[in-house]
Amino acid sequence: MTDLRVAGGMLAQRPSTQRRADDTELNHLTSLAVQGDHGAVDSLIREIRPMVVRYCRARLARVSGCVHHSDDVAQEVCIALLAALPRYRDMGRPFASFVFGIAAHKVADALRVSTRADVPTDSVPDRPDDGPGPEETAVRTVEAERARALLSELPEQQRRLLVMRVIAGLSADETGHVLGMSPGAVRVAQHRALARLREVAVANRLF
């Protein structure tokens, strides 16, 4: 597998002081990348990859043993994106929505593989298991189920927004790219979504 951290002129590296592209620049980069401009492809991956990494880490961190593979999954997302670029067509939705659609499928694949691989064996481990014990795992499972139940009470737009902002840790600007909103509108919508979430939690006596 090609390592995107090395290919294309060290795609994953950029100065920390370099600002992220705005919507207009990202749309321009996407248009050029779709046409096969290699420089635009490199720049597009540099802009998208940090968001993808954070998303994969946040989604896979909730499953024991999966977080260690999150960067590999993020790299698979970027490779899949490169393969899909020639077929991409602007349908009026933010390009980031297209990217996170690919990421969601790759994360789901990783979770399925992890579930199949998680079978008990009679072998003795070579070193102590530092992972969560049965009690902690049970508590995490209950908490995750409660969180999913609460989120399911929200409208789809609010649910997606909270998943990106609170769970995946995306910035208001990055979330706005996906949802087609300004950063200010994202913050206002997040405040309303959290207020609604608290109302649901109180009504269900989860607070």
Number of H helices, E strands in the chain: 9, 0
Would you state the pLDDT for residue 63?
Answer: 66
Higher pLDDT, 26 or 139: 26
* Local confidence band at 184 (pLDDT 50, 70, 90 cut-offs): very high
**78 vs 138: which has the higher pLDDT:** 78
Q: Which CATH class is domain 135-207?
A: mainly alpha
What does the pLDDT look like over 24-61, one tens digit per residue?
777 888 999 998 888 888 889 888 888 898 888 888 87
Q: What are phi and psi of 159, to 5 degrees?
A: -65, -45
Tell me what the mean pLDDT of segment 137-156 comes to: 65
- Per-residue pLDDT for 89 more than 50? yes
With pLDDT > 90 as the criterion, what percentage of the chain qualifies? 4
Nearest to 166 by CA among 186, 142, 145: 186
Over residues 160-183, the pLDDT tens digits come to 888 888 777 788 888 887 788 898
**Average pLDDT value for residue range 124-146:** 50
Give the mean pLDDT of 58-71: 72
Give, to the nearest 10 degrees, the angle between helix 95-117 and helix 23-34.
Answer: 70
179-187 CB contacts, 8 Å cutoff, 24+ apart: 179/94, 179/97, 180/93, 180/94, 180/97, 186/161
pLDDT of amino acid 144: 55
Domain boundaries, the chain: 1-117, 135-207
Q: Quick check: 93 pLDDT over 50?
A: yes
Q: Which fold has domain 1-117?
A: Rna Polymerase Sigma Factor; Chain: A (1.10.1740)
User: Which contiguous run of DSSP H or E holds residue 96?
Assistant: helix 95-117
Average pLDDT over residues 152-159: 85
